């Protein structure tokens, strides 16, 4: 992971899994120099965990740059879920987002 070409000064990279539902997610915090990290969540049927890691690292870095360019008091972060949209919809209907929300809370607390 540390030798990944897109892991360039990231503050945190977290892997989360809910075994009951099969949900797998990655959360990347790129930089919090200007403030807490912000960014969205992408659902995508990644071909591999390596592809998901590349995507989340690049997206979180992009969020850092977007916030800085707009002079916002935020840093960059992003999360990705490894699943197709039909699977994600089914999980959300059953769990009311609890699994993903608890993953995000852990990520924010551990990056502080």
Distance separating alpha carbons of residues 2 and 13, to the nearest angstrom: 10
Instruction: Look up 66 and say whether it is catalytic.
Output: no
Residue whose pair of structure tokens reads 């840093």 in the numeric block:
75
Q: Which of 78, 82, 99, 111 is catalytic?
A: 78
Structure tokens at 45: 């049927």
Which residue numbers are catalytic?
A: 78
């Amino acid at each position: 992971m540390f030798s990944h070409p897109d892991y360039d000064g990231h503050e945190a990279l977290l892997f989360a899994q809910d075994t009951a539902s099969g949900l797998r997610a990655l959360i990347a915090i790129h930089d919090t120099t200007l403030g807490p990290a912000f960014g969205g969540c992408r659902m995508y049927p990644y071909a591999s965990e390596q592809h998901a890691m590349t995507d989340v690292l690049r997206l979180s870095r992009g969020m850092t740059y977007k916030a800085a360019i707009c002079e916002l008091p935020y840093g960059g972060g992003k999360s990705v879920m490894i699943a197709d949209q039909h699977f994600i919809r089914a999980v959300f209907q059953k769990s009311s987002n609890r699994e993903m929300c608890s993953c995000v809370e852990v990520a924010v607390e551990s990056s502080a």
